Each structure stands twice: as C-alpha cells, then as structure tokens.
Amino acid sequence: MARYAVVTGASRGIGHAVAVSLAKDGTDVLLCFAGNEEKAKETRQACLAAFPDGTFPLCRADVGTKEGCGAILAAAEAFPSLDVLVNCAGITRDGLLIGLSEEDIDRVLSVNLEGAILLCRGAVKRMIRQRSGHIINISSVVGLHGNPGQVNYAAAKAGIVGLTRSLAKEVGRRGITVNAVAPGMIATDMTAAMPQKARDAALAAIPMQREGTPEDVAEAVRFLASDAAGYITGQVLCVDGGMGM
C-alpha cells in the first residue's frame, strides 16, 4: 500500500538523506525546505531515482511561522493519507547566553521547537482519523546534555524530547507512534560552520572517533517510520557514535 510522508528540512543534510531513505521504502514525500529551491530539486531527483512512482512535491515554507506550518499542512492535504511526519528543519544561532539577542532566542525556538509542535498538531489530527501514523522529531545530543554557547538550541532540542514523550502518551492508544532521534556530530552544512577548535573537541568526545553521516541518521528515522517499529514510542534514539553515553 502506498505511504505518504512530510519531511521538513528536506533540501539538504539530514533531511535530504531522510527523504531519500523513505523513498527507497516506497514512500512518497512532501519535500519541505526554507530557501534553496535548487537543492530541494536535487533531493527530488534523488527521491525519484529511488522511487520512480512517487511525486515528491516541493513545499517552500518557513516552519518558524504559523503561516509556514499552515502552508505545509495544506500542501500535505493533497496526499490521500499522512503516514509519516519527520520534523527535521533546524537552525543554530550560537553564542554565550549573555550575548544572545532576543531575536537569536526567539528564532531558534520558533524554527526548532514551535514549528515542530504545530506540525505535530496538524499531523495527529489526520493520523487520529486514520488510527495510524509515525512521527519522528529530530532532537540533538545537545538537548540531552547541554553545550556552552548553545543555550537557545539546547533548550529547543530538549523541548523536542518533552514534546515527543508527551505526545506519545496522548496518542499511543490511537495507534500513532512518536519518537525522537538525537544525532551527535553529523557531517552537514550545519557542522561545517563550526570553528575547527569546537569540531576537534567534539570529535575527541566520540567513542567511534568519527563524525556521523546524514545516512547514519536517516536509517534510524527510516526504522522508526516503519511498521517494524510499531511498538516503539516515546523513545529518544541517539545516533552519535556513543558521544552522548
């Protein structure tokens, strides 16, 4: 039976890899992104190569706004069902708390957390009617352990864990699973922007002594989005080479 998913942050990095891995499983995906349409089109091509029968529509929308989340949910209505939601869009605005502006705080919370809450709310309304669905929210090891210079980001990612566990308790009896994946240090544009000193320190703290790949994270998401994970809910799966132990 055909399956349908919404993936935010699908234009690059982890979201790109998640979309392609879901496509490999025969899932059509609404590819949501913020700005770079060329990159989003590359994701679409990779998804079509994996699942030629899919349509993989693009949806440019800012998940940091109510209007953007509304646009994503409206675009998803074109799918006959909504089987999987992956909240992967995320940003950082790093700096010690004393130097963070209110805008740095608000924006990181709205993109990383409030958007995920609004999209979860829209998705579960549909999934409750279907009596099935899988939601995967992308958190971070930083949300579990904290990190100096990332108070805003860590708070948002810890909020993702609270969202995930609370919603899992609300909708479990409706046949819907809600889980989080907490990546460690993954090689994407986000980590490429880190200062070398911070990258070296992070690498030294990883038992597996390497960065993860977007595909490492995508495989965990693919599992949690599959019916093979149908009795797993409210969990936080760390994909971090042991960094967060």
CB of 231 vs ligand NAD, minimal distance in Å = 25
Residue 102, burial from CB neighbour count under 10 angstroms (0-12, 13-18, 19+):
exposed
238 DSSP β-pair partners = 182
x-marked contacts with ligand NAD along 92-121 as a string, rule CB under 6 A? -------------------x----------
Q: Decide whether 128 or 198 has the Cβ nearer to ligand NAD.
A: 198
* 153 is a catalytic site residue: yes
x-marked contacts with ligand NAD along 131-170 as a string, rule CB under 6 A? -------x-x------------------------------
Query: Rounded to whole angstroms, how far apart are CA atoms 156 and 145?
Result: 13
CB of 244 vs ligand NAD, minimal distance in Å = 10
Q: Decide whether 53 or 67 has the Cβ nearer to ligand NAD.
A: 67
* Cα angle 97-238-18, degrees, rounded to a multiple of 5: 100
CB of 136 vs ligand NAD, minimal distance in Å = 11
Residue 49 CA from chain centroid, whole number = 22
Binding-site size for ligand NAD (CB under 6 A) equals 27
Q: Which of 15, 54, 122, 241 binds ligand NAD (CB under 6 A)?
A: 15
Scanning the structure block, which residue is given the tokens 């499983």? 25
Catalytic residue among 79, 141, 153, 217: 153
Q: Which of 12, 44, 134, 222 binds ligand NAD (CB under 6 A)?
A: 12
- Rama region for 123: left / alpha / beta (φ>0; ψ in -120 to 50; rest): alpha
CB of 183 vs ligand NAD, minimal distance in Å = 4
Q: Which of 23, 69, 154, 186 binds ligand NAD (CB under 6 A)?
A: 186
Task: Please report, as ranges, the residues that interact with ligand NAD according to CB under 6 A.
Answer: 8-15, 33-34, 62-64, 88-91, 111, 138, 140, 183, 185-186, 188-191
Residues designated as active site: 153
